[in-house]
Amino acid sequence: MTGFVPISRLLLCDRQKDHAVARGAEGIERWGAFASAIGKLAYRVKSAGGSDWVIATEDAYALAVALLAVLQAGKRAHLPSNLQTGHLSELARPCDGVLVQRAGVLGEAREMVILDQEGDGGQWCFEALDAASCEIRLHTSGTTGKPEAVAKPLRCLEAEVAVLDEVFGASGAQSVLATVPAYHIYGLLFRVLWPLSAGRMFEADTVAFPEELTALAGQRPAPLLVSSPAFLRRALPILDLERMDRCLWGAFSSGGPLAPDVAAAYNATLRCNLVEVYGSTETGGIAHRSVVDAAAPPPWTPLPGVAVTLSRDEELITVESPFLTTMGPFETGDRGRILADGSFFLEGRKDRIVKLEERRVSLLEIEDRLKGCAEVDDVRVLALETAASRAAIGAAVVPSEQGWHLLEARGKRALRESLHNALKPHLEALALPRRWRFVRRLPETAQGKTTAASLAALFLPASGRVVEPEGAHRTVSGTRAEIGMELQRELVYFDGHFDAAAILPGVVQVDWAIKEARKCFPVPCTFHRIEALKFFSVLPAGTRVKLELEFDASKARLGFSYHSGEITHSSGRIKFEPSQ
């Protein structure tokens, strides 16, 4: 590993051409090729003119190339909140160009450059970047509504990377694995900028599943893990922690609150300790901690140079930091309690107040009281507009084991009544939730945050819910077809219909097979019967699955099977009435 270099002077350092920068689908990307790619892209961006460029890619290496090229060209870089087409279109509209991983992502950009297509580039002479004037615009994940832009001078990000290396850089780690996107501030800092400055190799692809993490951790040299509460919680019962302990040289969690019992479970096995980092897009990193005893989590320790105080009126955490874009204190939305040594405890978010019939109602109070019920494991509440344009409270509840038992034994009405009865002594009637959704888990972003939009979607009718799998791609060859898809957790079919897990119903598997077949083959319109239908293994939410189809037109018969890796989940034949 080479010495630490600030991002502003990175391309002037004397790293060897064969130094490993990142590992992607094509193998290891070396320093010489990395610098060359930045120079060629900077020339193209500079030649295109304008001042603002959107970078839209999941690939961390491509993002690193694009970001440094845009800054070298003297332009402003815009990183999205997500890679949805609608959001990218909104970002691209006022900008001068878009750097994308593949064609067809957007159609509104004035200038579009495909990152994996090498174009003609002139000679480029690298210069030190002005860290004060170079600007990157990040976008929040929209926990309170529409994503908002947060302008970050490179000096703020550079200062934070230097502190990360000062506090956490002595672990001896040589590579970085990540389960979070590189275009958010946490991923940008921990999986792209810090590794570049410290000379660590990073993984270009984002780790999506615990099984991938287990395999990669054993294959990469002295890896650091950059993860989120959502992933760590889901992975805990799946990961072989003793094997991970032998492989990992460090682990981080950020982007949302990590339950103390989950953190303690990792730290009971991992010698490197799982470090939680508290911060936000606006503030950058604020503090860190490692939880060993779930019953007595330690306070948060501010990062070097960060001063934490409380606001006068609402006892909110207030921050002064070199990572802030402006001088003076920044008031967060978190309540806290500061100890004599400057460390602090977080005590929940600031009250979320809504008005119902001119009366103030605290959504936080409703959540806190529901969380105190034995039938509830987690909950989020929100104000919903009813058909009569009147606001009503909706509650999205993750039942506890006791709650699921009640629901299964006596139905949803019994569980609703039990929770209503617990609230009635404390709340006015208008503050009682009128709409309920019981789910296996709350919808979360990759950063472990639950957005207002995803919560509201739970209360839409099925026609407004997610009913199609994500990322479906089809390959058709003669009478055969393969369809790859991801069973995202937001699918309406996973809405608490099963005892132990969110599982794709068999009837949905059959229905999808027919729908996909009609897209690939001249299937007759009339369904006749199902033959040899077998279900071998359940299909849980989050699975990447391959649907294989074979259509015999002469017999009007469709064979189908669902697979993930070596596992066959189901198979069958569907007979249609032949066309007359």
Encode pLDDT of 51-62 as tens digits.
999 999 999 999
Residues 430 and 504 in one domain: no
Residue found by looking up tokens 């409380």 in the block: 310
Residues 497 and 516 in one domain: yes
Q: How many CB atoms lie within 10 A of CB 264?
A: 18
Final residue belonging to a domain, choices 153, 168, 200? 153
- Read off the tokens for 69: 């090229």
Q: Which has the closest alpha carbon to 257: 347, 148, 359?
A: 347
Report pLDDT for 395. Answer: 95
Q: Tell me how far apart the alpha carbons of residues 130 and 110 are, in angstroms, rounded to a whole number.
A: 27
> DSSP state, 182?
T
Final residue belonging to a domain, choices 409, 442, 459? 459
Is pLDDT at 109 greater than 70 in this prediction?
no
Cβ-Cβ contacts under 8 Å for 54 (sequence gap 6 or more)? 78, 79, 80, 88, 91, 92, 95, 97, 98, 99, 109
Strand partners, 304: none
Report pLDDT for 566. Answer: 86
Per the prediction, the chain carries an average pLDDT of 87
Instruction: Please give the average per-residue pLDDT across 292-307, as a whole number.
Output: 97
Residues 14 and 126 in one domain: yes
Q: Tell me how far apart the alpha carbons of residues 89 and 85 are, in angstroms, rounded to a whole number.
A: 6
Residues 488 and 474 in one domain: yes
Residues 480 and 422 in one domain: no
Instruction: Give the length of the chain.
Output: 580
> 140 lies in a domain?
yes
Instruction: Please give the average per-residue pLDDT across 497-521, as a whole number.
Output: 79
> DSSP state, 329?
-
Q: Which has the closest alpha carbon to 373: 418, 321, 430?
A: 418
> 495 lies in a domain?
yes
- Read off the tokens for 461: 């009718």
Q: Tell me how far apart the alpha carbons of residues 157 and 463 are, in angstroms, rounded to a whole number.
A: 43
Q: Which has the closest alpha carbon to 451: 490, 485, 493?
A: 490
Is pLDDT at 358 greater than 70 in this prediction?
no
> 334 lies in a domain?
no
Residues 400 and 526 in one domain: no
Answer for the pair 156, 421: CB distance below 8 angstroms, yes or no. no
Residues 450 and 481 in one domain: no
Residues 471 and 516 in one domain: yes
Residue 455 in 3-state DSSP? helix
Answer for the pair 458, 384: CB distance below 8 angstroms, yes or no. no
Report pLDDT for 464. Answer: 57
Is pLDDT at 73 greater than 50 in this prediction?
yes
Instruction: Please give the average per-residue pLDDT across 270-274, as a whole number.
Output: 93
Report pLDDT for 500. Answer: 46
Report pLDDT for 565. Answer: 86
Is pLDDT at 64 greater than 90 in this prediction?
yes
Query: Bigger pLDDT: 178 or 313?
Result: 178
- Read off the tokens for 421: 């009865």
> 378 lies in a domain?
yes
Model confidence at 28, pLDDT cuts 50, 70, 90, reads very high
Q: Tell me how far apart the alpha carbons of residues 326 and 573 are, in angstroms, rounded to a whole number.
A: 64
Residues 417 and 404 in one domain: yes
pLDDT above 70: percentage of residues in the chain: 89
Q: Which has the closest alpha carbon to 250: 264, 270, 279?
A: 270
Strand partners, 564: 567
> 121 lies in a domain?
yes
H helix or E strand, kind and range, residue 40: helix 31-48
Report pLDDT for 499. Answer: 41
Provide the strand spans (E) within 134-227.
135-139, 149-153, 175-178, 201-203, 223-227
| Global confidence as pTM | 0.72
Q: How many CB atoms lie within 10 A of CB 521?
A: 18
Provide the strand spans (E) within 386-427.
391-399
Q: Which has the closest alpha carbon to 568: 543, 530, 537, 533?
A: 537
Residues 526 and 403 in one domain: no
Is pLDDT at 138 greater than 70 in this prediction?
yes
> 77 lies in a domain?
yes
Domain of 522 in residue numbering reads as: 464-576
| pLDDT, tens digit, 9 for 90 and up, residues 164-207 | 999 999 888 999 999 999 999 999 999 999 999 999 999 999 99
| pLDDT, tens digit, 9 for 90 and up, residues 197-236 | 999 999 999 998 888 898 899 999 999 999 998 889 889 9
| pLDDT, tens digit, 9 for 90 and up, residues 387-422 | 544 678 999 999 999 998 998 888 888 999 999 999
> 552 lies in a domain?
yes
Q: How many structural domains comprise the chain?
A: 3
pLDDT above 90: percentage of residues in the chain: 55
Is pLDDT at 120 greater than 90 in this prediction?
no
Residues 419 and 478 in one domain: no
Residues 505 and 527 in one domain: yes
CATH number of the structural domain spanning residue 143: 3.40.50.980
Is pLDDT at 122 greater than 80 in this prediction?
no
Model confidence at 268, pLDDT cuts 50, 70, 90, reads very high
Instruction: Please give the average per-residue pLDDT across 488-510, as a whole number.
Output: 70
Residue 190 in 3-state DSSP? helix
